[in-house]
Amino acid sequence: MCGIIGVIQGRSQLVNPLELVGRSFRDLEHRGQHGAGIAVTGNDFWMEKGVGRATVVFDPERPEYQRLAKVPKPRMAVGHARYATQGKPSTENMQPHVMDSFCGEVCCLSNGDLPDYCPLRQQMEAAGAVFKSRNDAEYILRRVFQLSGGQPRKMVDAVKQLMLELRGAYSAIIMTKDIMIVFRDPWGIRPLVHGVLGDSPIFASETCTIKGLGADVVGTVRPGEIVIATPAGIQDRFQVVRAERRSHCILETIYLHRPDSKFEGVEAGAFRYRCGKKLNEEHPVPEAEFVSSVPRSGDMAAIGYAAQARQDFRITLIHKPSVGRQFIGEPESKDPREKFSAMEGAFEHRKRGVWVDDSVIKGGTWARLAKMIREAGAKEVHLRVASPPNCNPCRTGIHTPDRDKLWVNRFIEGDKPPDLIRGAKDLHLDSLEYLSIEGLKSAFQNPDNGEWESDPDQWCTHCLDGRPIFSEIEPVTS
């Protein structure tokens, strides 16, 4: 669950790839705020990394950016905004990772996780490899190096072999001083988008990042595909491996994507709005005097819920602008006032409300938030969640590896559905309900024209219903 970008100058040499990567972090760092890195190639190779938000680490006034800005004639650049899953937030675990080849440095950056990272790493260490980080993107780079013998001309074939070996989530870029190799796992778990600015190819994790640079979205890097690009443009793209069934991460669209981004043809904001409408159909609160949201990822679903209910939507919580995004897996603040403030005036005349959130993962935030809302003047606090209960761990980039840390599992016995009456009491709520898995899948259909924007069967819902993430894969012969 990170953000990556790669920019190539193009034949016209009208853009500075370093400048575009630096600007892109404004529209990328919502995917990761633990650290960032940039690598640039020109006549030589330069890289800088740092802990913290990307827009801070690479502020034009900071020495990290100024050192990179001195690179003469930059031709290609890559950037990474990290959310730490494999390996703690430290400089050595930041991406890109770099190794020396016969023809200069080679770097790699990736979004996603490899569930088998530990045994894979142990195999390489047993063969003599010495790792410098605890991050799985370093394994990808070292394995490509091993398969290619460190020879850049053999790296494309090495990536092909790697893609046939790995079972995991990776949207990745490998860059030498002459070439950029862009590839994505055959299940398409994490996003990877292709854009263009003039004749400059751009690859990024989200469409909002490409559009934020004034570039056009061309399409996606398809699951199981390799794209080869150089300063002369796209040289080749081909399918290496095909999965029996794709597994696009549903939580990307529920929670992680910015509302104006599209993932596999589905705009996140519109999808959340439809989830909110369906949530009201399934779990209305007729006595509520207003509908509100937990900003910011709950906003669109709450607006949809209010529209379907024909109830007023009111802003009752303010997300403090100076506070960054709190990610799944991070320690939760004991005081919700560090992140939110409540508008007391919203409760002067209306005191029974329903709040809509995108998900409830660990539960701690809501137990304290409900108390804060009541202290501001609310008499009834009803919570509606615009996704099904998150009850299964994920090890492909969403940081929920432990089942016992998922809040809803406290209220599940055997094969029974969760006891939401007990759950509501635990969170100090008057009532609690979730969107059904059927309701979630129905949100892929556009009600205006009846067309399905995406096939729900091609999305991974493992964290919600335990469906297997990985299907069988086969090589594509041409």
Tokens of 67: 């050192």
Eight-state DSSP code of residue 347:
G
Which amino acid belongs to residue 205? Answer: S
Distance between CA atoms of residues 308 and 439, nearest Å: 14
Find the catalytic residue in 2, 275, 391, 460.
2
70, two tokens: 């001195």
Give yes or no for a contact between 205 and 171, defined as CB atoms under 8 angstroms apart. Answer: yes
Distance CA 190, CA 425 (A): 36
Is 275 among the residues known to form the active site? no
Half-sphere exposure of 227 (CA within 13 A, CB side): 26
Question: Which is it for strands 266-267 and 262-263: parallel, antiparallel or unpaired?
Answer: antiparallel
Contacts of residue 298, defined as CB under 8 A and 6 or more positions apart, other chains included, come to: 355, 356, 357, 358, 386
Give CA–CA dist 224/294, Å, rounded: 36
Per-residue CA distances from 460 to 181, 246, 352, 388, 455 (Å): 26, 8, 36, 13, 11
At 263, which helix (H) or strand (E)?
A: strand 262-263
Distance of alpha carbon 373 from alpha carbon 162, whole angstroms: 51
Asked whether 299 and 258 are in contact (CB, 8 A), the reply is: no
Residue 404's CB is within 10 A of a number of other CB atoms, namely 7
Q: Pairing state of beta strands 352-357 and 380-385?
A: parallel
Query: What single string gives the DSSP state of each residue in 79-129?
Result: EEEE--SSS-SSGGGSS-EEEEETTEEEEEEEES--TTHHHHHHHHHHTT-
- State how far the Cα of 15 lies from the Cα of 8, in Å rounded to an integer: 9
Provide the phi-psi class of 414: left if phi over 0, else alpha when psi is between -120 and 50, else beta.
Answer: left
Strands in 147-192 per DSSP E: 171-175, 180-184
**Residues designated catalytic:** 2
